[in-house]
């Protein structure tokens, strides 16, 4: 039986290439990739909605731009994996506080950050976005990125 998946959801906002260029990191896996991956995302492997990255093994350095409609389980997994970078929006939710308390580094991204939609349109979002770094080399890459102050 083939699973039918709508891959064009309101959660599909692809991280801009300039962010990856600034970080200069090579990721082993993108755990929340769109179907087929993103061409400019430097990851050796990707898990799409069909693969369900939460049910897959996370090895090495992980990139995680989770669905903003339900980031909590992804952030919990990243905290336990402790090697990678997560891009999320700010929130008053418990998962955000947990990420704030457990990440090795936190970087508020510029307000004018633009994402690419599945149709190629470039759009900003109304929420402030944050990078959470887990693992010393990921936090150092955030510090060297010139994207902003890392706490």
For 6-40, write each residue's pLDDT tens digit: 444 555 767 889 999 999 999 999 999 988 888 89
Residue 12 lies in a domain: no
Residue 150 lies in a domain: no
What are the φ and ψ backbone dihedral angles of 98, each rounded to 5 degrees?
Answer: -65, -45
Count of residues making up the chain:
151
Summarised one tens digit per residue, pLDDT across range 81-103 is 999 999 999 999 999 999 999 99
Residue 137 lies in a domain: yes
Domain count, the chain: 1
Give the pLDDT score at 19.
94
Domain holding 93, by residue range, is 17-144
Residue 4 lies in a domain: no
Predicted TM-score (pTM) of this structure: 0.87
- Domain with residue 124: its CATH number is 3.40.50
* DSSP bridge partners of 117: none
**47-67 burial: b if 16+ Cβ within 10 Å, else e:** bbbeeebeeeebeebbbbbbe
Residue 54 lies in a domain: yes
Over 50: is that where the pLDDT of 4 sits? no
């Amino acid at each position: 039986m083939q699973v039918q998946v709508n891959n064009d959801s309101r959660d599909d906002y692809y991280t801009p290439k300039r962010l990856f260029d600034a970080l200069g990191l090579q990721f082993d896996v993108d755990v929340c990739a769109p179907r087929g991956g993103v061409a400019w995302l430097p990851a050796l492997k990707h898990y799409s909605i069909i693969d369900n990255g939460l049910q897959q093994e996370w090895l090495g350095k992980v990139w995680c731009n989770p669905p903003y409609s339900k980031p909590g389980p992804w952030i919990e997994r990243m905290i336990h994996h402790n090697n990678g970078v997560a891009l999320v929006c700010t929130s008053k939710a418990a998962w955000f506080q947990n990420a704030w308390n457990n990440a090795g580094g936190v970087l508020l991204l510029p307000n004018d950050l633009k994402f690419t939609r599945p149709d190629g349109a470039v759009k900003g979002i109304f929420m402030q976005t944050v990078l959470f770094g887990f693992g010393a080399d990921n936090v150092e890459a955030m510090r060297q990125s010139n994207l902003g102050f890392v706490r």
